[in-house]
Copies of this chain bind each other. A is one copy, B any other.
Amino acid sequence: MTLRADARDNRDRIVDAAEQLYAISGVTTPMSEIARRAGVGAATLSRRFPSRESLMDAVFARQLGWWMSAVDAAADAEDAWSALLTLLEETCVQQAHDGVCADLVVRSFLQGASFDVEKAAVSAQVERIIGRAQRDGKASTDVSWDDVVLLIEANAGAAGLTTADPEARARRLVHHFARSFAAH
């Protein structure tokens, strides 16, 4: 079932608008406001995304695409340890910058089953990177995928909070995790 061209354009604009407004006002932003910013009627939005959750999934799917590329790039790097640190910092700074809110990450990625395939792929890649960094003697042996998830949760949670310099906060958070992740 393929969408007509104009409908697909509208769909894209809706996801754009939602992404922007989620960053500003959180995922509880009224659907009508998202529709207005997207330049479509409320009916169109309701028709395309019957529930708020389905729209959240669509927004998250994009951000996940970006992240999977970053993870793949890190997995190809020579130095696993520095690639891991770079990946974590890029991820958190990106989250801070785009204002990715915790609700989005959690409901779509961690809680629901919508992205199980992607989740499995990402976690496998990240675990490979961690494993290599551990064999190189750079990463502590107690670090695991769960700790990366914890960092992302913590960062997403903090990212929703207004601060003078959200990017600096993200870097500081990664700084602490990196020091803890390092072999002692």
Contacts and interface: CB of A to CB of B under 8 A. Distances in A.
Q: What is the size category of the interface that chain A forms with chain B? A: 20 to 34
Oligomeric state, in number of copies? Answer: 2
A160 B28 contact: no
Interface stretch (A4-12, A117-125, A128-136, A168-176): A168-176
Contact of A180 (B155, B162, B180): B180
| Secondary structure class of chain A's binding surface, majority of residues | helix
A161 B28 contact: no
A105 to B, nearest CB: 9
A12 B23 CA distance: 36
Interface of A: 28, 102, 106, 110-111, 146-147, 150, 153-162, 169, 172-173, 175-181, 184
